[in-house]
Structure formats: structure tokens, C-alpha cells
Amino acid sequence: MTLLTQAGQQQVADLIERIERDTDAELVTVLAARADDYRYIALLWAGLLAMLLPGGLLFFSGLQAWELLLVQWSSFVVLAFVLRIPALTSRLIPRAVRHWRAGNLARRQFFELELHHTHAGTGVLIFVSEAERYVEILVDQGISSRIEDAAWASIIEAFTAEVKAGRTLAGFLGCIESCGELLQRHVPLTEPRDELPNRLVVIE
């Protein structure tokens, strides 16, 4: 998994600048490498397996209690390190949990980047978390009052497919273009302004 190059980030910024020339909407894009490090997931699984796996040893080999305890502690330490390997950790996390964490990060970014303070409430956040293969579009009241939530569904679906295929840049550009068409139609430009930065915000 790799975040966008500087050239790719510039393409995103240039496209946002072009789109905003024809709409009052303020687009902000955020790309996160992952929504969480999920260290607690590795510890939970290590603790569970360390308790369950050595249990059979006590039954079949007649280990003493202190020997079983030693095996359990050793198992926990080894598993805690092994299960922290990202490729393994991601397989242990339910999809619902991964998307919940990514969704929380998206909402935090919406407020931290002050999209809720734009003139007439026209902030639009396009958020991606690569590790979770998660895409979300959040809009402020000035946009939601003119465009139904269902209108964003197909755009999110197409972008998610690109992220899953490893084409994050193509997904961003396609998503911004699609959002631009929608915004230029429903939230056309009434006065030139640029309240928020057009650059891609990257969270490593």
C-alpha cells in the first residue's frame, strides 16, 4: 500500500481548483493510510489463543500448573508480536469494525478541517482510508439541502472499487469529476471564493 506521489497529489489539487471555479462548494480531500493501528486487536487475539491453545497440553501431557503458565505467557508474547504484522492483523478485524473506525476518522477530519464553517455551509469532504478500503463523502447542510444523500452512492461505489484495485489516484480524479458535475448543476457558482485549501490532506 502506497500513498499518492507528489505529482498525483498535485493532480488532485489542480482538479479541485478547476471544479471550484463553477460551484460554490468547497471540496476538501483526505487520504489516510489507515484509520487505526489496531494494536489492541493483536493483543486480544494473542491473549485468547494463549489461553486456549496450551489447555490441551495440560490434558494430554500432564504439565504442572506453573509449566502451563509459562507456556501461556510464552505463547502470548510470541503471538502478540506475530499478529502485529499488518497483513495478519487486517485479517483478524471484522469489516464492520474497520469501517466504523474509518467512518469515525472521516467525521473527525470534517470538523478538524473546519468544513462546517464555510460560507452557506457548502463544505464537501471526500475521504479515503486505504487500509480499510473505505470511501466516504460528507457534506454540510448547504449541500445536503440541495442534493439527496442517495446521489453520492454510485460515486462512492465507483471510487471504492478503484481503491480496492489499487488505483487510488484514478479513483480520486474520477470521484472529483463526478462530484463536480453534481455540484455545478445543483450548487452553481454565485461568487468567486476559495475558503479551504485545495491540496490533498495526507494522514500517514
Q: Are residues 185 and 162 in the same domain?
A: yes
Q: Are residues 58 and 153 in the same domain?
A: no
What is the model's pLDDT at position 204? 85
Q: Are residues 109 and 130 in the same domain?
A: yes
Q: Are residues 75 and 171 in the same domain?
A: no
Q: Which helix (H) or strand (E) holds 145?
A: none
CA neighbor of 124 nearest in space, from 104, 92, 146: 146
What is the model's pLDDT at position 3? 76
What is the model's pLDDT at position 43? 64
Establish if 145 belongs to a structural domain: yes
Q: Are residues 73 and 121 in the same domain?
A: no
State the helix-helix crossing angle for 153-164 and 168-186, rounded to 10 degrees: 170
Cα distances (Å, whole numbers) of residue 197 to 55, 133, 167, 170, 204: 57, 25, 24, 21, 19
What is the model's pLDDT at position 12? 96
AA letter at 69: L
Which three three-digit cell numbers place residue 36?
487505526
Give how many domains the chain has, as a whole number. 2
As a whole number of angstroms, the distance between CA 20 and CA 137 comes to 16
Q: Are residues 118 and 31 in the same domain?
A: yes
What is the model's pLDDT at position 79? 64
Decide: 198 and 9 in contact? Cβ < 8 Å.
no
What letters, b where the CB count within 10 A reaches 16 and e where it falls short, cover 98-132?
bbebbbebbeebbeebebeebeebbbbbbbbbbbb
Mean pLDDT by 10 residues, the chain (204 residues): 83 96 95 79 65 59 63 68 64 81 95 92 95 94 94 96 92 96 95 89 92
Q: What is the CATH number for 144?
A: 3.10.310.50
Q: Are residues 43 and 65 in the same domain?
A: yes
Establish if 76 belongs to a structural domain: yes
Residue entry with cell 493532480: 11
State the helix-helix crossing angle for 168-186 and 6-19, rounded to 10 degrees: 10
Q: Are residues 86 and 99 in the same domain?
A: no
189: DSSP letter: -
Name the residue range of residue 160's domain.
6-36+94-203
Q: Are residues 159 and 101 in the same domain?
A: yes
Establish if 1 belongs to a structural domain: no
The residue ranges of DSSP E strands in 4-121, in sequence order, are 26-32
Q: Are residues 119 and 76 in the same domain?
A: no
Q: Are residues 87 and 119 in the same domain?
A: no
Rounded to 5 degrees, φ, ψ at 196 are: -120, 155
Give pTM, 2 decimals: 0.79
Q: Are residues 199 and 115 in the same domain?
A: yes
